[in-house]
Structure 1
């Protein structure tokens, strides 16, 4: 036979256990005639009578007896494979490495609460942060990444997303900066010396676009790869910068000899959503579901503290 009906394997297992067409039919919710036809197909497939009449019952042939244990194990495995997987997850014994792709600012702001939350719930789980020089989706598709977090601009239709929180740009200046002495207007803001965070190294960004819309230019002199670099320069110089609100760590004034001061921007800049992104191949995995829900809830809670 070229095409084997694997349902015959289950039927053979029951027939060999019951030694009766009637009893096997009852277990499989079939009629006796349907079970008899199945036995006929099994005999044709194996080239052996399998079960033969002995008095009022059936007894296995030598070939059927030799197959009994193998058939039973294969039937048990097939039932196990096709049964819905259990969703119980023992976090205390879970050993797994989750890989999260995000930018350096996210790591600086959210890595500590994430590491603490994972260590408390699943002490054997490893968390690996990797940078994202590009937003290629192939690492999500092929399983190199478990999760990506950031601003999702465009995505493949099969990928799944959940919003973590809505972020916005704010201005930051060192304490005592002259800009803070009076009402902050677009003109006063544009007149300040700026430090810009730009991973690409280009002199473009949200504030540049907002001020350009108002026909205002601002002075550039410093451009750095990340927001933490821009904040450090703003803290120790007369330059101001713009960063996402989520980049601001909870302030402990007594530990900060020269604190930064946040101010709202006078030029309108649309808020943006930070989201988690993953591939549906991991959607039903209990461990991955736990991990992504932990990332989402922990980041939301940490952002509310900003």
Structure 2
């Protein structure tokens, strides 16, 4: 059996409410002949005359009287489903969102983001999930609402928005031998022992490629999954690390930033979501809050 034409439900609602083909046609902005053809189709699909002539007017059949109690609510449900989403009252919104983000992003931006959300929508709960797994399937399955980070690979299926630009800087402990140098050469930098940050446990990154192009190699003695972990090790050792500039922009106790001896390209931090949430007013608001918090941090002291 073919799916019913929902336009017939809207037409039936008008016919039962007006009790007249002419008035129903006027209500829906149709011609009288078009409304008559629609009534004929309704009679065919329901198996009932619905409206029959009595004198100079039309009267409803018993089936029509029975339907008259149900059709208005059904027609309004159809209209509500098919019309664009209405604006929502963010201050009254009660909902939870899951954001997948790195530990460093959470450390730098979460407080500002949570503060903005609490001020605008006190009924909203934010859940932060680790970015150990970059699989986009979690977005497709609705397990996370936003994936925030450096997305080297994307798919046309997903929506992506740039949040900020960042770059890596070299850090060492206060008093490290490199801090006594006015400039650090690639050779001096490579001669140090290093702690590398990699969520996947890799022992090489872009810096190793840049050093290799100069015929140099560095010694990596530790691999950690996050910038905060790398900073903790650097602070208590003679190791050096590459961390996000925004991670240390406000200064970190016991740690010094050194000019990077080899220029590395900036990285772009983005937020990614599934298209099914693109038009959702609450999700659109959340994306705006995340973007605003990141841009505010970009121009304010951290």
TM-score (norm 2): 0.92
Q: Secondary structure at the match of 2:172?
A: strand
Tell me which residue corresponds to 1:214.
214
Tell me which residue corresponds to 1:97.
96
Tell me which residue corresponds to 1:269.
264
Pairs within 5 Å for 1:78-97 = 78-86=78-86, 88-97=87-96
2: CA distance, partners of 1:67 / 1:24: 16
Q: Shift of residue 54 of structure 1?
A: 2.2
Q: Secondary structure at the match of 1:298?
A: helix
Q: Tell me if the contact between 1:168 and 1:244 (Cα under 8 Å) persists in the aligned partners.
A: yes
**1:18-64 Cα shifts (integer Å, max 9, x gaps):** 12221112112222222222222222332322222222211112222
Residues 1:287 and 2:282 are matched in the alignment: yes
Tell me which residue corresponds to 1:46.
46
Q: Tell me if the contact between 1:12 and 1:71 (Cα under 8 Å) persists in the aligned partners.
A: yes
Q: Shift of residue 245 of structure 1?
A: 0.9
2: CA distance, partners of 1:113 / 1:78: 41
1: CA distance, partners of 2:10 / 2:72: 8
Q: Shift of residue 291 of structure 1?
A: 0.6
Q: Tell me if the contact between 1:197 and 1:225 (Cα under 8 Å) persists in the aligned partners.
A: yes
Q: Secondary structure at the match of 1:92?
A: helix
Tell me which residue corresponds to 2:199.
199
Q: Give the unaligned 5+ runs of structure 2.
A: none
Tell me which residue corresponds to 1:301.
296
Change (3 A) 1:66 1:196: closer
TM superposition outliers: structure 1 runs of 4+ over 4 Å: none
Tell me which residue corresponds to 2:163.
164
Q: Tell me if the contact between 2:139 and 2:146 (Cα under 8 Å) persists in the aligned partners.
A: yes
Change (3 A) 1:73 1:212: same
Q: Shift of residue 290 of structure 1?
A: 0.7
Q: Shift of residue 2 of structure 1?
A: 4.9
**1:222-250 Cα shifts (integer Å, max 9, x gaps):** 33232112111212222221112122252
Q: Give the unaligned 5+ runs of structure 1.
A: none
TM-score (norm 1): 0.91
Q: Tell me if the contact between 2:146 and 2:271 (Cα under 8 Å) persists in the aligned partners.
A: yes
Q: Shift of residue 275 of structure 1?
A: 0.8
2: CA distance, partners of 1:217 / 1:44: 82
Q: Tell me if the contact between 1:161 and 1:277 (Cα under 8 Å) persists in the aligned partners.
A: yes
Tell me which residue corresponds to 2:244.
244
Q: Tell me if the contact between 1:119 and 1:125 (Cα under 8 Å) persists in the aligned partners.
A: yes
Q: Secondary structure at the match of 1:163?
A: strand
Q: Shift of residue 4 of structure 1?
A: 3.4
Q: Shift of residue 269 of structure 1?
A: 1.3
Q: Tell me if the contact between 2:171 and 2:255 (Cα under 8 Å) persists in the aligned partners.
A: yes
Q: Secondary structure at the match of 2:30?
A: coil
Q: Shift of residue 3 of structure 1?
A: 5.5
**Aligned-CA RMSD value:** 1.9
Q: Secondary structure at the match of 2:119?
A: helix
Q: Tell me if the contact between 1:109 and 1:249 (Cα under 8 Å) persists in the aligned partners.
A: no
1: CA distance, partners of 2:267 / 2:197: 17
